[in-house]
Structure 1
C-alpha cells in the first residue's frame, strides 16, 4: 500500500505521493488511473516528491491527468512547501522543479507565498512556433483575439476580454491549447479587468482542461496585464476557486504569489 495526500489550492487539486525514499513505479498508465475522477482518486495534477538535492528541500514532479509532465504549478508549489514546513519546522522552503528552484515563505499553516521566478517574454522562451510579438499574438478564435504570451516555466497565453462569463471556455479552450502557434501546447487564460488591482480569470490548462484555479496562469496574467498597461504590478486575481494575490516585483522581475493551501484527506492506495 502506498500512502497519499489529497491537497488543493483554491480547488486546484493534487494527489501527492512521496518518492523520496524510493521510486514507486509511476508509469503513464498508473498516473492516468490515479488522476481519473471516476476510476481513481482524481486530481488536476499528480505530484510526486523526490529528493531535492543540494540547495533545495524537495524536488516536485508534476504530471497532468493525461500523464504529460508539466514544468510548473503554482498552487502545487504552495501545497508542497506547506508539507515540508510541517515536517521540518522551517518558515523558508525551496521547492525544486523542472523549471527551477522556487523559494517559498510560510505565513501560517494554511497560507504560503511562492516566488515563481521571472517570466520569460521572448517568442522562443514561450515557446512559439515562429517569431512574433508576445504582447499581441496574431491569433483569433471565435470571440477572442490577440493574446499576450509569456513563460512561467510553462507556456501561457492570456486573452483579455470584457466579460469572462460570456465565453464558452470548454469549446474554445482546447482549440487554443492545440493552436499551431504553440508547438508545446499552451495554458490558456481568459482575463477580465475589474479594476487596476483586481482581475477575474478563468483557465484552460494544458493537459488538464478547466480547473478552479491555476497559480502559474495567475502569474502570467499579472505579467501580461501590466505589460498591456491594464493593471499595476500588484493585484488580486479572482478565479472560480477563490483569490490569489500576485505581485510582479520591480526590483528583480520575480512574480510573487500568495494564497491558501489545504489538505482534503489522506489515504492509501494499491498501485495496479
Structure 2
C-alpha cells in the first residue's frame, strides 16, 4: 500500500501527517506498527510521531497521534498546530477556527495566515489546566501537587504536576546546562507515583515573562519542543508566582507564546508550524 504524507514540525517537534478519513490505513496496518516503522530516523522517514486525520461525528475533525515508540498520547500541542496547517492547506478543513476531537477532549486551533493565504502560525485554545492529582494522574494526598518531593535513584526531586489532557512533571532548576535530562527524564517518566507515566519539563526561570525549557517526552525521549509541556510549565510557574500571565517559553527548537489568566481559566499557546517536505511511501 502506498500512502501520501507531509513531514512537518512545530519548533523542531516533528511529525508525519496522514489523511485516514476513509480508514484505508487503519484497515491495512495497526497505527502503532506504522508509527514505529515510519518514525525510525535511519530506516524510515524519521519523526517524533505520526498524526492522522480521522472523521468525527461530534467535531469538525478527529486528531489521532501515535508516538515513535507506538504508544498513543492524549494530545500534543506542537502536533496540533501542524495538524491545523495540514488540514487547511490540503483543503481538508478550510476554516480559520476548528473544533478538533482528541483523547484529551475538544481542542480549538485558530489559523493565523500570511497575505498569500498560507498558514503562518496557529493559536491553540489548550483548555483548562488540571491541577487535582487524581486527574493528572499523580499519587498524592493534597488538593494540588506543586513542588512535591519524589524519591529517585538520583535522590529527591521536587516536581510540580499538571495535566494538559496528558500528564506533566515540571522541575525548576537554576541552570539547564547542568541537567542530565537523559538520566533524570526516564526516572521521572516511569516513577511509580505517575501511574500513566509522565512528560518531564526542566525549567529555568529567566524573568517574570520568560522561561527556558528542555523536555523529556513520554514515549519519545528528548525532543526539541513540547507544546502541552510549555503550557504545564507556565501553569506551574504562574501558580508559584515565578511568572505573570504572558510568558515566552524558549525551547531547543524555538519559541512559544503562552497566555493564561490563572486557575480555572483556559490557557492559550501560539507558535509556528512548518512543512519540511511532502512525499509518498510504500508501507
Please, which runs of 5 or more residues in structure 2 have no aligned partner? Answer: 114-118
Alignment partner, residue 125 of structure 1: 135
Please give the per-residue CA displacement for 1:144-189, whole angstroms capped at 9, x wherever unaligned: 7211101000000100010011111111111111011101100000
Q: Is it true that 1:38 corresponds to 2:42 in the alignment?
A: yes
- Answer yes or no: is the 8 Å Cα contact 1:77–1:95 preserved in 2: no
Alignment partner, residue 109 of structure 2: 104
Alignment partner, residue 260 of structure 1: 272
Find 1:65's aligned residue among 61, 65, 68.
Answer: 68
Q: CA deviation at 1:57?
A: 2.0
Stretches of 4+ aligned residues off by more than 3 angstroms: 140-144, 249-252
Query: How many angstroms apart in 2 are the aligned matches of 1:110 and 1:249?
Result: 25
Q: CA deviation at 1:31?
A: 2.1
Q: CA deviation at 1:143?
A: 7.4
Matched residue count: 270
Q: CA deviation at 1:83?
A: 2.1
Please report the TM-score for the alignment, with normalisation by the length of structure 2.
Answer: 0.91
Distance 1:252 1:104, change over 3 A: farther
Please, which runs of 5 or more residues in structure 1 have no aligned partner? Answer: none
Please report the TM-score for the alignment, with normalisation by the length of structure 1.
Answer: 0.95
- Cα RMSD, aligned residues only: 1.6
Distance 1:265 1:50, change over 3 A: same
Bigger CA drift: 231-240 or 83-92? Answer: 83-92
Secondary structure (helix, strand or coil) at the match of 2:98 reads: strand
Alignment partner, residue 180 of structure 1: 192
Alignment partner, residue 169 of structure 1: 181
Alignment partner, residue 116 of structure 2: none
Q: Is it true that 1:246 corresponds to 2:238 in the alignment?
A: no
- Answer yes or no: is the 8 Å Cα contact 2:216–2:223 preserved in 1: yes
Q: CA deviation at 1:58?
A: 1.3
- Answer yes or no: is the 8 Å Cα contact 2:3–2:281 preserved in 1: yes
Bigger CA drift: 242-251 or 15-24? Answer: 242-251
Query: How many angstroms apart in 1 are the aligned matches of 2:194 and 2:215?
Result: 16
